[in-house]
Amino acid sequence: MKMLKKMLASIIILTMITYILSSILIQNKSLAVTQSTSTDINSIDSSKYPGVKEKIQALQKKYPNWKFKILYTGLDFNEVIANEYTGHGKSPKNLIYKSANYQGAWICSICKERIYDNGNWRCASEEAIKYMMDPRNSINESDIFQFEELTKTETDINTIKNMTTGTFLAGYEQAIIDTSNSNNVNACYIVARLIQEQGKTGTVLTSGKGYNGQYVGYYNAFNRGASGNSTEAILLNGLATAQKYGWTSLEKSISGGIDFIANQYIHKGQNNLYLQKFDVETTNGLYSNQYMQNLMAAENEGLTLKNTYKNTNSMSSAHTFIIPVYENMPKADCARPSTNGTSNVTTDLVRVNVNSTIRVRNAVNGNNTVGWLYKDEIVTRLEKATTKVNGTYWDKIKKADGTTGYVARETYESESEYKLYLVPISEDGGNNNDNNNNSNNNNKPTNTSKVKIDEENKIIMVVPNAIANDILESFGGTAKITKADGNYLNGSQDTVATGYKVEDKYTVIKKGDCNGDGNVNTGDTYMLKCVVLNLKKFENENYKKAADVNNDNELNTGDTFLLKKQVLGLANIEL
């Protein structure tokens, strides 16, 4: 009998592991791609990767010491672009600094002239991303060094001095070489990165003078944590990061930054400038571990490397380059965007037209929730349904964070008022005007027999047998409900528990659920009895509120008696 129980337990555990792994792979199938690297340039299939072999061979002919590796990413080129062309209105993955050479079709037609970060930064267009990500546009003598392998190469201090002369890095050459060598990183690349980040003369973050009297004596050479939508926010956040890591000298800041880049990027597969800008290597995930938003950063830093090698007569020395290639690459090189006119959006982008939130499901009309879409969020539509299932169309979408799933495009046939939930950007210009909404409902909850709203304290009180659908009805049919651990509920029939969150602001208090497991049973009666007898204490205020089943704002034998009757089916606790 014991052996049988052990076998059954093993089967259950294996089944759970298989289910979890399957769910992960289904939700992020891009991570399931098989990637490989090859040094055999002659075997490149020109029908699949047109022009790549020929461009590399032309460089090899001029520079015989140059070596090339091909990274077969296994990723569809169009899928890659869709993942990079995200974050509109919030934090775009790719920004372009608007100037005479980078305007017009370089600027995203969704965000248009909206300023990001500080200065003149704009959201980059889809055409601009395609142009910069197409490796064929950079397999040339000028731009190739964004693909240079960044692991350690023997670097002479005079080479580094040639790069640092006249810059804020003069005098720090040996420190750069020492830390680079200990991390197995190309020191020339480090100097190029620092100049890209801070310019030749440095900035407030490398001066040690602080900003507005704050953080004096701290340095942040690599701009770690320096983000925000104003100069003040960027500098203060960057200096706060420097204080956090104890960077009280420029040398400490440089060493700390090199350690970070080496461990978080180079040694995790992102071993050239291109791969640090565009995270298409699977070792550390996809699309999420990108060092910078500047679309031109990899090319610019690569140009600094090229000029260094040229000035030190080392262009013809041994260099190794890693070139990524994609499936379904365009037959011709992606064209450079025009500085005149505007960008033409080819990806199907849609704006979420709901009062508050709408569920992202695991399948067409699926029961499991994999995420939520929010009002006015812009997402990429991967597949547009042509037939209705259960009374509506289910479109496949991808969020900026990579979450993929299915969403109802419009209201169900049974609903009296029609509403389009996924509005094409081309139809509303990316505006936030709710032109398709005939309702004035702001998704504020209302009281029912099973749900009571405390708007002042942001509490939703529910009866002991309440399920998710009871709360949804209070919100007019749709609301985001998350468990105490942050995971989503799978469906409307799921049990809710004390401590759950609704719309990220309301806390659920389930009468009688004193331990947060969603059930009202003898476990709760025992816990409440122990508390009343001063033998135990509740972990938090939520459980205490749930235990006050007779609503007298006290915990006493009156509560234990009523809760016991509820568990025995002799009474019904009311709100």
Q: How far is CA 541 from CA 514, 537, 547, in A?
A: 10, 10, 10
Q: How far is CA 390 from CA 25, 294, 364, 411, in A?
A: 27, 44, 9, 11
Which pLDDT score is estimated for 541? 92
Neighbours of 37 (CB within 10 A): 12
Which pLDDT score is estimated for 433? 42
Q: Structural domains in the chain? A: 349-424 (2.30.30.40), 451-568 (1.10.1330.10)
Q: Is the separation of the CB atoms in 254 and 175 below 8 Å?
A: yes
Q: Is the separation of the CB atoms in 362 and 370 below 8 Å?
A: yes
**CB crowding 424-451: b at 16 or more within 10 Å, else e:** ebeebebeeebebeeeeeebebeebebb
Task: List, in order, residues 6 or more apart from 482 with CB less than 8 Å away.
Answer: 488, 489, 500, 501, 502, 504
Which pLDDT score is estimated for 30? 47
| Residue pLDDT tens, the chain, 575 long | 555 555 555 555 554 454 344 434 433 444 568 999 999 999 999 999 999 999 999 999 999 999 999 999 999 998 899 889 988 888 899 999 988 788 999 999 888 888 887 668 999 999 999 999 999 999 999 999 999 999 977 788 988 998 899 999 999 999 999 999 999 999 988 998 898 789 889 999 999 999 999 999 999 999 999 887 678 888 999 999 999 999 999 999 999 999 999 999 999 999 999 999 999 999 988 998 998 899 999 999 899 889 888 887 889 888 999 999 999 999 999 999 988 767 665 567 888 888 888 999 999 998 888 888 888 788 888 888 888 888 899 999 988 777 889 999 988 888 877 788 998 765 444 444 443 443 333 457 888 889 999 988 999 999 999 998 888 878 766 677 888 877 776 566 788 999 999 888 899 999 999 999 999 999 999 999 999 999 999 988 999 999 999 999 999 999 999 999 999 999 999 88
Q: Tokens for 506?
A: 């309301």
pTM across the whole model: 0.58
Which pLDDT score is estimated for 435? 39
Neighbours of 199 (CB within 10 A): 12
